[in-house]
Structure 1
Amino acid sequence: MGIIGDAFGKLFDFLYSLFAGLFGVIWDGLKWVGNLLKKLFQNLVDIIIGFFKVIYALIEGLLYLLYMIGVLAVKLFLVIFEAAKVLWSLIEGFVRTLGSLKYSPRSGGGHGYSEILGKLFSNLKVLQIDSIAYILLFMLWFITAVAAIKLISSIRVGGD
């Protein structure tokens, strides 16, 4: 090729090595800046994700608290409802007992016991013990009702 070709060849080799080294340094600098930005942004993203995890856990805890308050309200309503049913049964039994203090024998369906009881009541009217029987019947029912109320009120959660 000659002297000029060799000179241009050496010049271009020199320029190639100069620009290759320069662009290599620039490329290494860009990679270093990119890695630095990657680490900074990764730490920032980790902090933001951690913050939102805490917020999510707080919201989840509050919703679970509201759910458990609702469960407690339902259970409390059921307990109060059942206690009201028991109280209503006691009141109804008391009223029925007071209403049934007067016994009037009737003819039965053919088994004969009502007729015998009717004759027994009519023969015992002479002794006038029906008032005492009614008072004893009322006392028996009242004592039973008080014992039932004491039993119900002594029941505690946890089986004490």
Structure 2
Amino acid sequence: MGVIGDAFGKLFGFLGDLFGGLFGVIWDGIKWIGNLLGILLQSLLDPILLFFEAIYGLIAGLLHLLFMIGVLAVKLFLVIFETAKILWSLVIGFGKTLASLSYSPSSSGGHGYSEMIGKLFKNLEVLQLNSIAYILLFMLWFMTAISAIKLISSIRVGGD
């Protein structure tokens, strides 16, 4: 190239190294300031985020508690409702049994079952088994009622 080309090449090489080093120092300073601001900002945001995470956890816990109280109330209502249905069925059955203790045969127009049962009862009156049958029937229902109450009281609610 020549003397002038070498001189300009060295000059631009020197200026390039000078500005490259100067811009490198400036870029390193900007990166250092950015890291410092990031660390300061992160140290300021961490306690605020921790506070809001704690508040969020508290609200989530309270809402879960309210949900589980609602689930418990529904389960308790269902258990009480089913128990009441069983007891009502027991009372109805006991009442029907007591009502059927006074059987009076009558003739019906459609079929002869009532008349046939009436004749059977009239023939059995000689043996006087009516009283014993009524007592045994009453004892049967009484024992059924006691067993049902024991069974209902022994039921545990929950997934133990």
Normalising by structure 2, we get a TM-score of 0.69
Equivalent position SS for 1:107: coil
Cα root mean square deviation, aligned? 3.2
For residues 28 and 139 of structure 2, the distance between their equivalents in structure 1, rounded to whole angstroms, comes to 104
User: What is aligned with 1:12?
Assistant: none
Equivalent position SS for 1:143: helix
Instruction: Answer yes or no: is 1:145 the counterpart of 2:134.
Output: no
Select between 112-121 and 64-73 the one with higher mean Cα deviation.
112-121
State the 1:29 CA deviation.
7.6
* Unpaired stretches in structure 2, ≥5 consecutive residues: 1-21
For residues 136 and 26 of structure 2, the distance between their equivalents in structure 1, rounded to whole angstroms, comes to 112
> Cα 1:104–1:95, aligned 2, differ >3 Å: closer, same or farther?
same
Instruction: Answer yes or no: is 1:87 the counterpart of 2:87.
Output: yes
> Cα 1:97–1:34, aligned 2, differ >3 Å: closer, same or farther?
same
State the 1:54 CA deviation.
1.4
For residues 95 and 53 of structure 2, the distance between their equivalents in structure 1, rounded to whole angstroms, comes to 62
For residues 38 and 46 of structure 1, the distance between their equivalents in structure 2, rounded to whole angstroms, comes to 12
Normalising by structure 1, we get a TM-score of 0.69
User: What is aligned with 1:14?
Assistant: none
Equivalent position SS for 2:74: helix
Q: Percent identity?
A: 74
For residues 64 and 95 of structure 1, the distance between their equivalents in structure 2, rounded to whole angstroms, comes to 46
User: What is aligned with 1:117?
Assistant: 117
Map of 1:33-72 to 2, 5 A cutoff? 35-72=35-72
User: What is aligned with 1:104?
Assistant: 104
* Unpaired stretches in structure 1, ≥5 consecutive residues: 1-20
Select between 31-40 and 95-104 the one with higher mean Cα deviation.
31-40
For residues 150 and 27 of structure 1, the distance between their equivalents in structure 2, rounded to whole angstroms, comes to 86
Higher relative contact order (CA 8 A, sep 6+): 2
Equivalent position SS for 1:102: coil
> Cα 1:53–1:72, aligned 2, differ >3 Å: closer, same or farther?
same
For residues 152 and 35 of structure 1, the distance between their equivalents in structure 2, rounded to whole angstroms, comes to 71
